[in-house]
Amino acid sequence: MRFSYVLILAIIVFLPACATTQLDLSLDTDLSSESPVAAHDGILGVDEFIDLRPQVTTSDSKKWLGFIPGVFWLNIISEIPDTYTGFSDYRSGSFKVSFAKSVYKKMERDGLFKKTIFLPADKYAYADYRLEGLINRTFLRETGYYYGSGMYAWLTRIIGLPYVSYEIIIDVTLRIRRLDTNEILWTCDLKGNRIDKYNNIYQLNKGREGKHILAYNIAKILEEQMPVVIQSMRTAMKDR
């Protein structure tokens, strides 16, 4: 009888965790605007970023490890997490476009230039300068924990024990090109990393603040790094 009660409780808790939730897949940040004293007299076009990441699969990166008796964890390393993750699919569309769009929205809010446009939306729009991005790396390490098998394993995933951990590294190079002379006026590396942990399957499916877990963590890296990037850009463009 007790087992039946436990089973019913597990089903009640587990079913909401399996429900489909519409999560925000964008990389948009919530950074407030910090407009300069005077906007640069020119039009900046933010172009689709260039993807330089190693196009490798992750199937050979899976390893079962078991140093603690009865507890196993699966280690997955991915260089292209937007096309494959082991525990939570991140089908965001074109990553190089979504990353560029997030940076564009930040640039537009800050008003560093007289006008900022998103070139993938209008390839023939006029611009004096072009913001280019090189996506060098998007490293993701996923560690999933398993405790035994059967109903016991499901209860630990639902009720709460260390379930999935994420380590995320971003490495992007940004640069501004003057289009009439083809001169590169400014370049800056946008790098950052985060570690995120989830204790049950419900947390994993729910995401964070309405965003997909990868989108949330990448956006947080952007929030941390963009103020430094913007200040560097202001200094470089001050006398241009």
Both tokens of 123, joined, read: 């390839």
| Per-residue pLDDT band at 37 (split at 50, 70, 90) | low
R_g of the chain, CA atoms, integer Å:
22
CATH number attached to the domain at 38-237: 3.40.50
pTM above 0.75, yes or no: yes
Q: Is the pLDDT of residue 7 over 70?
A: no
C-alpha dihedral over 78, 79, 82, 88, to 10 degrees? 10
What is the DSSP-derived secondary structure letter of residue 11? H
Measured at the alpha carbon of residue 170, what is the angle toward residues 168 and 176, in degrees to the nearest 5? 165
Q: Stretch 5-18: mean pLDDT, rounded? A: 43
Q: 95's torsion region: left (phi>0), alpha (psi -120 to 50) or beta?
A: alpha
Q: Tell me which of 16-25, 73-82, 129-138, 196-205 is least confident.
A: 16-25
Residue spans per domain, the chain: 38-237
The confidence score (pLDDT) of residue 178 equals 96
In angstroms, the CA 170 to CA 189 distance is 10
